[in-house]
Structure 1
Amino acid sequence: MSDIRHSLLRRDALSAAKEVLYHLDIYFSSQLQSTALPIVDKATIELVEDFIFHVPKDRGVQLKRMSSLQELQLLEIMCSYFQEQSKDAVRQLIFSALFSPQGNKADDSRMAMLGKLVSMAVAVCRVPILECAASWLQRTHALYCVRLAKVLVDDYCSLVPGSLQTLQHIYTASPRFCCQFITAVTALYDFSSEDLIPSPGLLEMVVTWVVDDPRLTLITFLNMPISASLPLGSLGVTPLLGLVRWCVKAPLAKRAKESAPTADTESFYSKLHLGVLQILLMLQVHLTEKNLFGRLELLQFEHVVQLVEELNPLNASREIELSLNRLAQVLQVSLSAGALLCTREDLRSLCSRLPHNNLLQLVMSGPVQQPPHSPFQPGFYPHIHTPPLGYPPRPSPPAHNTHPSHPAPQFLPGMSFPYRPIR
Structure 2
Amino acid sequence: MSVSDLKHALRKFEFPTCAREALIRIEQLLVGRAAPSSKQLDIAMDIISEFVFCESDRRGGRRGAGLTPLQDLQLIDIICDYLSACTNETTKNTVFLSLFGGMESQRRLKILSILASMAVSASSTPVLLAVGVWLQQMGCSSSQSLQLVENVIRDHFYLNTSNQLALRSLANTAPQFVSNFITAVTELYMHDAQGSTKLPPKNLLEVITAWVYSNPTLCMSAQLNPAALPSGSIPMAAVTPLAGLIHWCALAPLYIDDDAEMVEVPVPVKKIKLEGENDRAIIKTVTNKPLTECELYIKLHLGVLHSLRAGRRTHGPPTAVNAQHLAALAPIVQGYAHGVLKRGGKLQTDTKLQDSLDRIGQAVQVALANGCVYGNMSNLLAALDTLPENRLLRIIIKTHQQTI
What amino acid is aligned across from residue 254 of structure 1 in structure 2?
I
Equivalent pair of 1:344/1:365 in contact (CA under 8 Å): no
The verdict on how the C-alpha distance between 1:250 and 1:236 changes in structure 2, with shifts beyond 3 A counting, is: farther
- Supply the distance in 1 between the matched residues of 2:22 and 2:360 (Cα, whole angstroms): 52
**Superposition RMSD in Å:** 3.1
- Residue 209 of structure 1 corresponds to which residue in structure 2? 211
With over 3 angstroms needed to count, the CA separation of the structure-2 counterparts of 1:147 and 1:344, relative to structure 1, is: closer
Please state whether the residue corresponding to 1:319 is helix, strand or coil.
Answer: helix
Residue aligning to 1:140 = 138
- After TM superposition, give the deviation of residue 26 of structure 1 in Å: 2.8
Q: Is the aligned partner of 1:337 residue 2:339? A: no
Q: 1:368 to 1:68 in 2, by over 3 A?
A: closer
Match of 2:322 among 300, 316, 324: 300
Summarize the alignment of residues 371-390 of structure 1 with structure 2, pairs less than 5 Å apart.
Answer: 383-384=403-404
SS at match of 1:198: coil
Stretches of structure 2 lacking an aligned partner (at least 5 in a row): 228-232, 263-290, 341-346
Q: How does 1:221-260 map to 2 (within 5 A)?
A: 221-224=223-226, 236-254=238-256
1:392-421, Cα deviation, whole Å (9 max, x unpaired): xxxxxxxxxxxxxxxxxxxxxxxxxxxxxx
1:221 Cα deviation from its structure 2 partner: 2.2
**Match in the other structure for 1:267:** 295
> Partner of 1:186 in structure 2?
186
Aligned residue for 2:187, secondary structure, equals helix
Contact 2:176-2:225 within 8 A present in 1 as well: no
Counterpart of 1:379?
A: none
- Residue segments in structure 1 that go unaligned for 5+ positions in a row: 370-382, 385-423
Greater shift, 352-361 or 158-167, is seen at: 158-167
Describe the superposition over 1:192-226 as per-residue Cα deviations: whole angstroms up to 9, x where unpaired: 3456311111111111111111111122222349x
SS at match of 1:158: coil
Q: Please tell me the residue identity of whatever aligns with 1:191.
A: H
TM-score (norm 1): 0.74
Write the letter of the residue equivalent to 1:334. Answer: A
Contact 1:183–1:235 at 8 Å: present in 2 too? no
Q: CA deviation at 1:247?
A: 0.6
CA contact (8 A) 2:22 2:48 kept: yes
The alpha carbon displacement at 1:250 in A equals 1.0
Matched, 1:114 2:76: no
Name the residue aligned to 2:265.
none
> Could you give the per-residue CA deviations for residues 294-350 of structure 1, whole angstroms, max 9, x where no partner exists?
x33532222122222233222142212111111111111221111225788545521
TM-score (ref. length: structure 2): 0.77
Inter-CA distance 342–52: structure 2 relative to 1 (3 Å threshold): closer
Identical residues among aligned pairs (%):
28
CA distance in 1, matches of 2:392, 2:111: 49
Deviates more, 1:109-118 or 1:181-190: 181-190
Residue 43 and residue 59 in structure 1: after superposition, are their counterparts in 2 closer, same or farther (change >3 A)? closer
Question: How many residues get paired?
Answer: 351
Letter in 1 for 2:219: T
**Which stretch shifts more, 347-356 or 298-307?**
347-356
State the partner residue of 2:74: 73
State the shift of 1:187 in Å.
2.4
Whole-angstrom CA distance in 2 between matches of 1:11 and 1:79: 20
CA distance in 2, matches of 1:215, 1:209: 10
Question: Counterpart of 1:95?
Answer: 96
C-alpha distance in structure 2 between counterparts of 1:296 and 1:348, whole Å: 17
Sort the Cα spacing of 1:368 and 1:251 in 2 relative to 1 into closer, same or farther, 3 A. Answer: closer
Q: Secondary structure at the match of 2:16?
A: helix
- C-alpha change, 1:4 and 1:368, in structure 2 (3 Å) is closer
1:47 aligns with 2:80: no
Letter in 1 for 2:116: V
2: CA distance between counterparts of 1:166 and 1:134? 18
1:130 to 118, 128, 133: 128
In 2: Cα distance, 1:69 partner to 1:18 partner: 16
